[in-house]
Amino acid sequence: MHPMIKPALRRAWRDRQTVQYGVAPAHAVLLGPVDNTTAGFMELMDGTRSLVQLREEAARVGLPPGTADRLVERLSSAGVLDDATADREASASVSDLLRPDLGSLSVVHREPGAGLRRLVARREACVQVRGAGRVGSLVASTLSAAGVGEVDVVDGGHVEPWDTTPGGIPAGEVGERRDVAASRAVGRAWPWRSRTRARSRRKVGLVVLTPRDGLDAYAPDPATSEGFVEAGTPHLYGGVVESTGVVGPLVLPGASPCAGCLLRGRAEREPSWPLVVGQWRTSSRRRSGVPACDSALATMVAGAIASYALSFLDGDGDCAAGYRVRFALPHLMGDTEQFSPHPECPCGAASVTSDRPPSAGVVEEVTMA
């Protein structure tokens, strides 16, 4: 191991003996007390020295025996240290396009080398995006840009002018098949050093449902996802309807509320809900105008959907399961809607309970003495 203070974490001294690594409370760490000798020694943790060499340096500057190992252990457990030699072969495959993503992963995942392992694992993942409008095409290209190895896009018809967006399908591809145009956007975003993408027919690990008609994300039809529920395939909803963006829920079949649970729960609270949704769907099929989908809102929603998808693929749990976030113009003050499994839904999620850890919001403090 070659210990290295994570480059992504900014450093600042709170006082003469307390140093803070990281800016925002979610991932910041306070270390203290730190004397001048220890502070100078920590500067040597730049990835160029092995642990054996750091022990020698600690003895040279007069630190007590065992100090180097103790500091490495505490800094590692606090999420401050990375390993500069972690999986050299994998690291060599990471292009500069992915370095910012790697830095972010190194902050989110505390143990040394964990960020690199997750980034490399993304290359083996397969995601299917269903819907290639403004939101869906941008979700697909963003997932590819973040290192997901296989992103398949499913949609019919041809690209209309209102399907295009920067980062997704460009305006020059109006008239092309939607799935083909979206796949080209995915290919352009491919960030790995090797430009060859293996088409290995991997098992789809996540389906992202981003219908061009945002109503189908706001009030999803259980029939659309019935096959995913039966197959146990995780799926995530998102889209824009009128001037409101919706992100979620993530459905873990048999463990979290599905579209059928949402429909049954809403119908209990509002008996007219199925009738109203049916009228909306009918009017959507008959309408000839262009559906409302603000460019900035679509971009924001696509980013949030992709972020939830990546968190799931990275193994960060079910942070979006059973929840939906709504962003309404003009203020975009997001509100969260929580869903519950319905006892009469055949998905079986009502028999499962989950404990969710509280979100981090306080700077962690680590005693160095």
Of 89, 42, 87, residue with least CA distance to 68: 42
Q: Return phi, psi of residue 344, to 5°.
A: -95, 0
DSSP conformational letter for 361: -
DSSP conformational letter for 7: T
Residues 174 and 180: beta-carbon distance below 8 Å: no
Domains contained in the chain, CATH given: 3-97 (3.90.930.60), 123-351 (3.40.50.720)
What's the pTM value of the predicted model, to 2 decimals? 0.90
Q: Return phi, psi of residue 354, to 5°.
A: -135, 145
Q: How far apart are CA 205 and CA 57, in angstroms?
A: 47
Q: In what order do the strands lie in the sheet with 18-21?
A: 11-15, 18-21, 29-32, 364-367
Q: How far apart are CA 130 and CA 88, in angstroms?
A: 36
Q: What average pLDDT values come out for the chain (369 residues) when binned by 10 residues?
A: 93 94 92 92 93 95 93 93 80 85 93 92 95 97 96 97 95 96 96 68 91 95 95 96 96 96 95 95 82 94 97 86 94 92 94 55 63
Q: How far apart are CA 315 and CA 313, in angstroms?
A: 5
pLDDT attached to residue 358 = 45
The helix (run of H) or strand (run of E) holding residue 246 is strand 244-251
- The tens digit of pLDDT for each residue in 158-185 reads 999 999 999 999 999 999 999 999 999 9
pLDDT attached to residue 89 = 66
Q: How far apart are CA 266 and CA 236, in angstroms?
A: 19
Q: How far apart are CA 82 and CA 89, in angstroms?
A: 16
pLDDT attached to residue 193 = 77
Residues 160 and 174: beta-carbon distance below 8 Å: yes
Q: How far apart are CA 63 and CA 261, in angstroms?
A: 61
Helical H segments across the chain, by residue range: 36-42, 51-60, 67-77, 88-93, 99-108, 114-122, 134-145, 178-188, 215-218, 222-231, 259-269, 273-286, 295-313
Read off the amino acid at residue 243.
S
Of 221, 229, 252, residue with least CA distance to 319: 252
pLDDT attached to residue 28 = 93
Q: How far apart are CA 221 and CA 238, in angstroms?
A: 13
Residues 153 and 186: beta-carbon distance below 8 Å: yes
- The tens digit of pLDDT for each residue in 280-322 reads 999 887 777 788 999 999 999 999 999 999 999 999 877 789 9
